[in-house]
A and B are shown apart, each in its own frame.
Chain A
Amino acid sequence: MPDLSRRDFLKLTTRLLLGASGLIGLGMFARFLGHPLETPAPVEVDLGQVDDFPPGSRTPLPQVPALLVRTEAGFTALSLRCTHLGCTLDAQDEGFACPCHGSLFDEEGRVLRGPAAQALVRLPVTISESGRVILTLEP
């Protein structure tokens, strides 16, 4: 181990301290600038491979919430947010019911009973080049 004079030791310590504090300061500044106030809502949702949804399937997507339907003609998705105030709908034997204010919708999303006045929203579904089912949340 080379001899280190007292002066060199103090110089090295000073530089180490300055370097560490500079790096920490830069890190804190970068973190401050990069801190997201709100996590932006995803616009698209990757639902998986096409083969995961066989023809004739009706797959609830509680995280959206929506219902993904695959027919011989392709994919469609029905938003399960009530068009009255946005409550999440419950699936029933023949359609959907709003637990908040009682609106009823048929399997195609048409209003059977208010207070909702508009049919359920259909969400666009596309197939990516790699064969994955992509749901777009904004119609």
Chain B
Amino acid sequence: MTRRLVLIAALLLLLAAALAWWLERRALQPDPLTPTLTGEVEYCLTCHADLPQISASHPVETFGCVLCHGGERLALDADLAHSSLRGGDNPSDLAVVEASCGGGDCHGGDPAAQRDHIQRVMTSIQVNYTGAVTSLRFTFGAQPDLTPVLGTFASVDASLPSQTGILSLGLFDPAAETHPMLQAFGQNCLTCHINAQPAEGEAYQRYTGCAACHTPAALEDVPLGEGEDGRNPGGVHRLTTAIPYTQCNTCHNRGNYDLRSMTFVERQDEAVTRLEDYYQPIAQFTLCEYTLDCVDCHTRVEAMGDGDIHAVKSDIQYVRCSTCHGTPDELPLSMTLGDADDLAIHLAFLNPVVDLQVGDTILVTSEGEPLWNTRLLPDGGYELVGKATRQVFRFEPVMGSACTQEGSDQSSAYCHTCHAVKR
């Protein structure tokens, strides 16, 4: 009896060995990669070798996949490998961004080393939307004054000393509001700040977090809305600072808020040309406002914040017509690059649409930010190269022209009086 059991056990062992051999023959052979930054082997490329490199600044040989995405680096089973991904298909979502984009102190480090991107974004008005939240809560009696206390993203200003004096914001919770208009505002009007899930519809589709801006879906050939979650199938593996206006338009220029019903009213015109698409029909704009992309004029500090919490958009949006064109009495502010380590040269390297050199003169904003895609020409004119299109535009200063503007008035309506494009 014992001998028979031993024989059966031996047969079972042989069968198990044969099965293990057969399964191993069918199993994926790992494609190992040991990224420089982590020094730990990962097998992600076994299945993902076909993914395009996300950007020239993030080569997979240096960063690998796990540093940004998380996941089980030695797993060859898809479910197991993806079981601990950060942020699903989007590791830049603000809920996980400090562990992903901020890992290795890359984008979450010292402001002096230009590594404080996450802190700036976390406190930016594009994320917390505190201007609208504060204004409406004051209007409907939920707070006694216009001092910002709540936003759509709770944040703390760690970049002390604060220039604005606003040290933190709590989370705006529509369900905790008693006024029905504030509840309606929370329900209908909070889809357009960076970490909010976008509204339904192809025109609104974008990711959250950093990818909301830096992963422009419109650059991809794959049609939107075909993925499981309504986005591109498999996600878009791309990061860029060459952001086209279409990406900005997933939030901006999509419609208007009806303050009587506190709803968002989608624009109804069917834009065919860029001129029609850029601004909704009611808006006025100048030639450069629709031929350029938003990022050609608006700077990274305007878009991503400066580390301080600001009460309203106008506090942090400072590029005016005069920034590039000057006034009848003054040329636009400019600076001559005197150092290879100048910020302008670093920014131009990341999106090489211009070949900036030490000695070039570029325009700067009133806050001293370089408009690195502009250049003073020998004849006194200026040129601007489109960051997304690489188109070259020549423009002239107001000084010495026939323009009779009052230079101190840089309001949109004032400049549009003469320079608005007719549609």
Contacts and interface: CB of A to CB of B under 8 A. Distances in A.
Q: Do these two chains interact?
A: yes
Interface of A: 14, 17-18, 20-22, 24-25, 28, 37-39, 41, 81, 85-88, 99-102, 104, 112-115
A124 B7 CA distance: 60
Interface stretch (B52-60, B212-220, B235-243, B259-267): B52-60
Contact of A18 (B10, B20, B349): B10
Contact of A88 (B6, B61, B341, B346): B61
Interface of B: 3, 6-7, 9-11, 13-14, 17, 20, 32, 34, 36-37, 39-41, 56-59, 61-63, 74, 104, 106, 113-114, 340-341, 345-346, 349-350
B10 A102 contact: no
Given A14-B3, A41-B34, A24 B349 contact: no
A24 B62 contact: no
A41 B13 CA distance: 36
A34 to B, nearest CB: 15
Given A86-B37, A100-B56, A20 B14 contact: yes
A17 B7 contact: yes
Nearest to A117: B113
20 contacts: A14-B3, A14-B7, A17-B7, A18-B10, A20-B10, A21-B13, A38-B40, A39-B32, A41-B34, A85-B104, A87-B36, A88-B36, A100-B56, A100-B62, A101-B350, A102-B350, A112-B340, A113-B345, A114-B341, A115-B114
Contact of B36 (A20, A24, A81): A81
A104 B23 CA distance: 50
A112 B263 CA distance: 55
B349 A102 contact: yes
Nearest to B347: A102
Contacts of B7: 14, 17-18
B57 A39 contact: no
Instruction: Report, nearest first, the 10 A-B pairs whose CB atoms are least far apart.
Output: A86-B36, A102-B349, A21-B10, A113-B340, A21-B13, A38-B41, A87-B62, A24-B17, A17-B10, A100-B57
Main secondary structure of the interface of B (DSSP, over half): helix
A99 B55 CA distance: 11
Contacts of A38: 40-41
Interface centre among B34, B37, B57 (most CB of A within 10 A): B57
A28 B56 CA distance: 45
A25 B6 CA distance: 14
A47 to B, nearest CB: 21
Contacts of B57: 100-101
A85 B10 contact: no
B11 A17 contact: yes
A112 B74 CA distance: 39
Contacts of A25: 13, 17
B38 to A, nearest CB: 10
Contacts of A20: 10, 14
A28 B20 CA distance: 10
Contacts of B341: 113-114
A37 B32 CA distance: 11
A115 B62 contact: no
Contacts of A81: 36
A14 B2 CA distance: 12
Given A100-B57, A100-B58, A102-B345, 12 more contacts: A14-B7, A21-B10, A24-B17, A25-B17, A38-B41, A41-B34, A85-B106, A88-B61, A88-B62, A99-B59, A102-B349, A115-B346
Contact of A85 (B13, B37, B345): B37
A14 B41 CA distance: 45
A41 to B, nearest CB: 7
Given A87-B62, A101-B57, A24 B34 contact: no
A17 B61 CA distance: 49
Interface centre among A39, A41, A101, A112 (most CB of B within 10 A): A101
A87 B3 contact: no
A38 to B, nearest CB: 5
A114 B58 contact: no
